[in-house]
Structure 1
Amino acid sequence: MSIRKSLVYSYLDRYASLVVSIVSSMVIARVLTPEDIGVFSVTMVLISFVATVRDLGAGQYLIQEKELTTDRIRAVWAVQLGLGVFLAMVVLAASVPVSTFYKEPRMLNIMLVVAANYVINPFGSLTYAWQMREMRFDTLAIVRFSSTLVGGIVGVAMAWFGHGPISLAYGALGSTLVNAGMAIFFRPKDFPWLPGTKEIRRVLAFGSRLTGSSILQTVAGSAPELLLGKLQSMTAVGLFSRATGLVSMFNRIVLEGMNVVAISWFAKQSRQNESITPAFLTATSYASALGWAFCLGTVFLAHPTIHMMYGDQWGGAVDLTRVIALSLAVSLPSALCHPALMALGSVDRMLRVTTSTTVMTVVLVAIGSYFGLMAMGWCVVLAAALRSWVWLVAARKEVDFTWPALLSLSLGSAAVAGASAIGPLCAFVVYGPYPTEIWQPLLMGVPTAMVGFLVAVIGLKHPLLDELKPLWAKLRTYR
């Protein structure tokens, strides 16, 4: 499948799933309280440490392996299946101590439900990795959207009928069941069902270093919610979770789809001994232009967006949302560094970078959490900026891009984002930072942002124009 077609399917999947997630989030935010959301968020953050080792990087090994044999496939399956059962037992064993530590009995039942995910998940993981390797994003889109839809329906239904934060856990379980069932259906007929250990050392040699990096990234990403839950309150965690949830929509709209295709595409180029530098720089320019436009729009329209999507009880998350948007903005230049290094198999360098950035992030977040929610938000921004620089320096040694080339593309992306922000800025000035109206600022800011973005891309001949031209040509054929 071509890179452009892969991106189309990847984004169709993300956008369709995003619609389901937004609708379910809007309902759940009006049914559950900030404290309910906080309880579930802290629980899932704790479990995310376990999730980072759920297949020890075996799936990523399968994607980048140049010579894939039956024995190596058996080894990947053995790692995934064995770890799934083991990690389920770990979650079960930790459920009582965790709920006791946070003095929150609801966390116990949530962990019991989530433990089942780890037993079921391996039945989908192997097929998912193979489809990524073969760039079969059409099949992946079907599987992912179906599982997201079922998960959203289950979660909303249970929350609606008063089951509290455990509703979200049951939604995740429903999603995992559907994902595993469909993955078995699409599993290649020649894939072995019996696990094997003949090549397991080769798989673990790659995966253990990648997993070490993933664990440290999870520590860095989880630190704000874990520290807020202990040093502040579950309500503070809920507000932080909702703020980051809104900002992270950009990850779901753009970065996740781009990164999934980028890893597969970079790995394919690497297997064919081709340079990934042009693709890396182009993808980075796409991410920065779209991301900076999103961040500026979020800063100016955070208040009406929060109230429209989640309701009045989440007004305390507005200012934090603006700050978290800035942390996304400073991280965007390095957005493709991780998938590039992973595709090139540079797991040792990834581990070194992740170790240093994790220590720095946890220290800064701990300091901020002690002083309060907003202080922690600004520490997240500082940590993101430093982390972005370190990743760029590390990636440059492998990808071999030049600083002037990256700067030139970044300035063009900044100009496009600035043009897109004119409309949201006008709405901010006219209606104020905390408007009593909800729809008027959005109706003024969102359409004008889209127009400004398109005009700037065309006028400045940004690299995104190369993607818009084929789309426009295809649309004209339907006239």
Structure 2
Amino acid sequence: MSTRRAIAFSFLDRYAALALSIGSSVIISRLMTPAEIGVYSVTMVFVSLAAAFRDLGAGQFLLQKRALEPRHLRAVWTVMIAAGCLMALLILLGAWPLSLFYDEPRIVPIMALIALGYVFNSFGAMSYAWLMRSLRFEALAMMRFSATLTGTAVTLLLAWKQYGPISLAWGSLVTAVTNAAVGQYYRPDGFRWWPGREGLREVVSFGSKISLTSVAGVIGGGMSEMALGKLQDLHSVGLYSRANGLAAMFSRLVMDATNAVALPLFARATREHGSSLQPWLRATSYVTVLGWSFAVGVALLGSPLVLLLYGAQWGDAVPPLRWLALAMAINLPAALCTQVLIGAGQADRVLRITMMAALCQLVCTTAGAAISVEAAAQGFALSQVPVALAWLHGAQKQLGFSWSELLALLLRSAACVALVAVVPILLVLRYGSHPAAPLVPLLAALGGGGMLLLLALRLFKHPLWSECLRMAGFIRAKSGFLRG
């Protein structure tokens, strides 16, 4: 599969799932209170710590291994089964202490359902990793979308029946079961069901570093919600969670799909050509110009966005939303550094940087959480400056790029975004920062900002403009074929 075809399938998959996610989020925000969503949010932060070990990095091992042998496949399968069962046990053991810590008994049944889901996850993980390595994104799209669709349907039905936060846990379990079932359909015939020990040490040695990296990342990224739950209240957690969800929408719109393709592509480029420098530079130019445009729009039009999607009860989420959008913008130049380093097999370097980043985020966000929800978001934004610099430094050591070359690339993206920012600024001047009718300025920002972005890409000769021309040519060719 070509790179562009792989990216197209990945984006189609992610956008379909994202549409379901946004739609369900809008409905759930009106069926549940901020405190109810806060219960599930703090639970998921703890679960994410355990989930970082869900396959002990065996999937990433399978992706980056150059000379893959049958013994490696059996060893990966062994690790995935053992890790899934172990994580389920850890989640169950942590349920009661966590409920006592937050004085919230609803946490126990939520974590029990999530623990069961991790047992089923093991049975889809092997197929998922192999399909990623093979760049079979059409099959991956089928796995993920079918699982998301069934899980979302169950969540919405139970939320409508007023089951509260456990509705989300039931949806998570159904998602895991569906993913495992569809994964078996795509499991290659040559994959044996019986585990093997040969090659186990090699898999665990690499994968354990990846898992520790994931744990550090979860601690750094999720500490705001855990700290707010203890230092403030679960209502504050719900506000921060929704603000973070909106700020992270670009990641779900673009970066999730990009990362899904980037890791196997960077790994293949390293295996075949010895370097993934040019693909990384090109991808970084794309994500910065798109992501910075999104961040500017969210920061300036956060109030109508929150009002339209979640309703008036979530108005206090707007101030932290603006700071979290800034945090995302600061981190974007380094957004693909993790993938390029893992693709090159640099698990040690990834672990060191992630641990440093987690410590920095932990200190800044916890200090802010002791003050307010907005201060927690401010602390997180502040922490992203040294974090982004550390990741770029690590990528520079691996890829050997010129700092002046990267700066020129980023300045071109910034110039495009400066032009795009004119649209939301004019809309704020026209409608105010808290418009009573939020749909009009948001639609105007989407349409006007999109057209101005295309103009800016052409005016400043941004690399993304060539992709736009290529896509336009493809659409013309297809439309001509259909008319013929």
Corresponding position: 1:383 with 2:408: no
Structure 1 position 466, deviation (Å): 2.1
Corresponding position: 1:118 with 2:122: no
Instruction: Name the aligned partner's letter for residue 367 of structure 2.
Output: I
Q: Secondary structure at the match of 1:342?
A: helix
Q: What CA RMSD, in Å, does the superposition of the two structures yield over aligned residues?
A: 0.9
Structure 1 position 274, deviation (Å): 3.2
Give the corresponding residue for 1:284.
284
Corresponding position: 1:203 with 2:206: no
Instruction: Tell me, in whole angstroms, the C-alpha distance in 2 between the residues paired with 1:441 and 1:49.
Output: 39
Q: Secondary structure at the match of 1:275?
A: coil
Give the corresponding residue for 2:446.
446
Give the corresponding residue for 1:20.
20
Instruction: Tell me, in whole angstroms, the C-alpha distance in 1 between the residues paired with 2:469 and 2:437.
Output: 38
Instruction: Tell me, in whole angstroms, the C-alpha distance in 1 between the residues paired with 2:317 and 2:78.
Output: 44
TM-score, normalization: structure 1? 0.99
Give the corresponding residue for 1:258.
258
Instruction: Tell me, in whole angstroms, the C-alpha distance in 2 between the residues paired with 1:212 and 1:385.
Output: 22
Q: Secondary structure at the match of 2:370?
A: helix
Structure 1 position 435, deviation (Å): 1.7
Q: After the TM superposition, which of the residue ranges 285-294 and 428-437 deviates more from structure 2?
A: 428-437
- For 1:218-297, what aligned pairs fall within 5 Å after superposition? 218-297=218-297
Structure 1 position 441, deviation (Å): 1.4
Q: Secondary structure at the match of 2:386?
A: helix
Instruction: Tell me, in whole angstroms, the C-alpha distance in 1 between the residues paired with 2:450 and 2:432.
Output: 21
Q: Is the 8 A contact 1:421 1:452 kept in 2?
A: no
Structure 1 position 355, deviation (Å): 1.6
Instruction: Name the aligned partner's letter for residue 104 of structure 2.
Output: E
Structure 1 position 213, deviation (Å): 1.2
Structure 1 position 94, deviation (Å): 1.5
Instruction: Tell me, in whole angstroms, the C-alpha distance in 1 between the residues paired with 2:257 and 2:150.
Output: 20
Q: After the TM superposition, which of the residue ranges 368-377 and 50-59 deviates more from structure 2?
A: 368-377
Give the corresponding residue for 1:105.
105
Give the corresponding residue for 2:463.
463
Instruction: Tell me, in whole angstroms, the C-alpha distance in 2 between the residues paired with 1:429 and 1:376.
Output: 29
Structure 1 position 394, deviation (Å): 1.1
Instruction: Name the aligned partner's letter for residue 346 of structure 1.
Output: Q
Q: Secondary structure at the match of 2:78?
A: helix
Q: After the TM superposition, which of the residue ranges 225-234 and 265-274 deviates more from structure 2?
A: 265-274
Q: Is the 8 A contact 1:300 1:424 kept in 2?
A: yes
Structure 1 position 189, deviation (Å): 0.9
Structure 1 position 273, deviation (Å): 3.3
Instruction: Tell me, in whole angstroms, the C-alpha distance in 1 between the residues paired with 2:470 and 2:273.
Output: 28
Instruction: Tell me, in whole angstroms, the C-alpha distance in 2 between the residues paired with 1:169 and 1:337.
Output: 32
Instruction: Name the aligned partner's letter for residue 175 of structure 1.
Output: T
Return 5+ residue gaps in structure 1 as ranges: none
Deviations 1:357-390 (A, max 9, x none): 2111111111111111111111111101210011
Give the corresponding residue for 2:411.
411
Deviations 1:228-269 (A, max 9, x none): 000001011000000000111111111111111111111111
Q: Is the 8 A contact 1:20 1:149 kept in 2?
A: yes
Deviations 1:288-344 (A, max 9, x none): 000000000101111111111111111110111111100000000000100000000
Give the corresponding residue for 1:306.
306
Structure 1 position 465, deviation (Å): 1.4
Instruction: Tell me, in whole angstroms, the C-alpha distance in 1 between the residues paired with 2:317 and 2:395.
Output: 34
Instruction: Tell me, in whole angstroms, the C-alpha distance in 2 between the residues paired with 1:342 and 1:177.
Output: 29
Q: Is the 8 A contact 2:127 2:186 kept in 1?
A: yes
Instruction: Tell me, in whole angstroms, the C-alpha distance in 2 between the residues paired with 1:158 and 1:358.
Output: 36
Q: After the TM superposition, which of the residue ranges 428-437 and 214-223 deviates more from structure 2?
A: 428-437
Structure 1 position 6, deviation (Å): 0.6
Structure 1 position 440, deviation (Å): 2.1
- For 1:155-166, what aligned pairs fall within 5 Å after superposition? 155-166=155-166
Q: Is the 8 A contact 1:426 1:445 kept in 2?
A: no
Corresponding position: 1:76 with 2:76: yes
Q: Is the 8 A contact 1:424 1:446 kept in 2?
A: no
Q: Secondary structure at the match of 1:464?
A: helix
Q: After the TM superposition, which of the residue ranges 3-12 and 418-427 deviates more from structure 2?
A: 418-427
Q: After the TM superposition, which of the residue ranges 27-36 and 274-283 deviates more from structure 2?
A: 274-283
Structure 1 position 174, deviation (Å): 1.1
Corresponding position: 1:358 with 2:358: yes
Q: Is the 8 A contact 1:334 1:391 kept in 2?
A: yes
Instruction: Tell me, in whole angstroms, the C-alpha distance in 2 between the residues paired with 1:27 and 1:187.
Output: 35
Query: In the comparison of the two structures, how many residue pairs are matched?
Result: 479
Instruction: Tell me, in whole angstroms, the C-alpha distance in 2 between the residues paired with 1:314 and 1:155.
Output: 21
Give the corresponding residue for 2:95.
95
Structure 1 position 444, deviation (Å): 2.3
Q: Is the 8 A contact 1:425 1:445 kept in 2?
A: no
Q: Is the 8 A contact 2:118 2:176 kept in 1?
A: no
Q: Is the 8 A contact 2:151 2:173 kept in 1?
A: yes
Deviations 1:389-446 (A, max 9, x none): 1110111000111111111110111111222221111111111112222122113222
Q: Is the 8 A contact 2:213 2:354 kept in 1?
A: yes
Q: Secondary structure at the match of 1:303?
A: helix
Instruction: Tell me, in whole angstroms, the C-alpha distance in 1 between the residues paired with 2:297 and 2:362.
Output: 28
